[in-house]
Amino acid sequence: MPEPQFLHEDDNLSLEEMARASGVRVEIIIELVSHDILQPHGDEAREWRFPAPSIERVQRALRLRRDLELNWPGVSLGLALLDELNDLRRRHRALLRRLG
Amino acid sequence: MQYKDYYDILGVPRDADGAAIKRAYRKLARKYHPDVSEEADAEERFKEVQEAYEVLKDADKREAYDRLGSNWREGDPFTPPPGWGQDPGGHGGGFRGGADFSDFFASIFGAAPGAGPGGGARGGFQMRGEDRSARIRIRLEDAYAGATRAFSFVTTEIGARGEAQQVRKTVNVTIPKGVTEGQRIRLAGQGGAGFGGGPAGDLFLEIEFEPHAIFHAQGRDIHVELPVAPWEAALGAKIKTPTLGGTVELSIPPGTQSGRRLRLAGRGLPGKVTGDQYATLRIVTPPAATEEQRALYRRMAELMPFEPRAGLGT
**Of A1, A8, A64, which has the smallest distance from its Cβ to B35's Cβ?**
A64
Contact B216, A94 (CB under 8 A): yes
Of B42, B76, B110, the residue at which a domain comes to its end is: B110
Structure ipTM over 0.85, yes or no: no
- pLDDT of the residue at B185: 81
In a domain, B311, yes or no: no
B127 touches chain A (CB under 8 A): no
Contact of A83 with chain B, judged by CB distance below 8 Å, is answered with no
User: Which of A6, A22, A25, A81 is the best residue to mutate to test the B interface, defined by the most B CB atoms within 10 Å of its own CB?
Assistant: A6
**Residue B150 counted as domain residue:** yes
Beta-carbon contacts of B106 under 8 Å, excluding residues fewer than 6 positions away, are: B85, B112
Across the interface, do A82 and B33 touch by the CB < 8 Å criterion?
no
User: Which pLDDT score, from 0 to 100, does residue B155 have?
Assistant: 65
Q: Which of A65, A59, A73, A50 is nearest to B129 (CA)?
A: A59
Is A2's pLDDT higher than 50? Answer: no
Domains of chain A: 12-99 (1.10.1660.10)
pLDDT at B84: 55
pLDDT for B162 equals: 66
Tell whether B138 is covered by a domain: yes
**What is the tens place of the pLDDT at every residue in B84-111?**
544 444 333 333 444 567 778 877 776 5
- Domain of residue B65: give its range: 6-110
The last residue of one of the domains, among B54, B78, B110, is B110
Per-residue pLDDT of chain B (314 residues; tens, 9 = 90+): 788 899 999 999 999 999 999 999 999 998 899 888 888 788 888 989 989 998 999 888 898 888 887 777 777 777 766 555 444 443 333 334 445 677 788 777 765 443 333 333 344 556 777 777 788 889 999 999 988 888 777 666 666 666 666 777 777 788 888 899 888 888 877 777 777 777 788 888 888 899 999 999 999 999 999 999 999 999 999 999 999 999 999 999 999 999 999 999 999 999 888 999 999 999 999 999 999 999 999 999 999 888 888 888 77
pLDDT in tens, A20-43: 777 788 999 999 999 999 999 988
Q: How confident is the model at residue B157, as a pLDDT?
A: 66
Measured in whole angstroms, the distance separating CA A39 from the mean position of its chain's CA atoms is 8
B70 and B157 assigned to the same domain: no
Q: Are residues B203 and B161 located together in one domain of the fold?
A: yes
Residue B258's CATH number:
2.60.260.20
Of A2, A10, A23, the CB nearest to B272: A10
B93 in Cβ contact with B61 (< 8 Å): no
Residue B245 lies in a domain: yes
User: CB-CB: which of A4, A9, A63 is closest to B185?
Assistant: A4
pLDDT at B249: 94
Query: Which H/E stretch holds residue A56?
Result: helix A54-67
User: Same structural domain for residues B245 and B163?
Assistant: no
Cα A20 from Cα B155, distance rounded (Å): 24
pTM: 0.51
Pairwise CA distance, residues B117 & B124, whole Å = 15
Considering the domain architecture, whether residues B80 and B171 belong to the same structural domain is answered as no
Give contacts of A4 with chain B, Cβ < 8 Å.
Answer: 171-174, 185-187
Last-in-domain residue among B183, B209, B235: B209
CB contact under 8 A, A53 and B176: no
Give the mutation candidate from A25, A28, A67 for the B interface (greatest B CB count, under 10 A): A67
> Is A44 near chain B, with CB under 8 Å?
no
Beta carbons of A50 and A20 less than 8 angstroms apart: no
Asked if B224 and B139 sit in the same domain, the reply is no
Within a domain: B314? no
Residue B299 and residue B233 in one domain: yes
Does A37 contact chain B (CB < 8 Å)? no
Distance from CA of B250 to the nearest CA of A (A): 24
pLDDT of residue B115: 39
* Same domain, yes or no: B103 and B11: yes
- Which of B38, B131, B174 is facing A4, going by the closest CB pair? B174
| Cβ pair B185:A89 closer than 8 A | no
Task: Look at residue B293 and tell me if it is in a domain.
Answer: yes
Query: Is the CB of residue B171 less than 8 Å from the CB of residue B136?
Result: no
CA A4 to chain B, closest CA, distance in angstroms equals: 5
Interface residue A95 vs chain B (CB under 8 A): no
Instruction: Look at residue B146 and tell me if it is in a domain.
Output: yes
Taking contacts as CB-CB distances below 8 angstroms, the residues of chain B near A5 are 185-188
Domain of B12, CATH number, reads 1.10.287.110
* Domain tally, chain B: 3
Single-letter amino acid, residue B254 = P
B178 part of a folded domain: yes
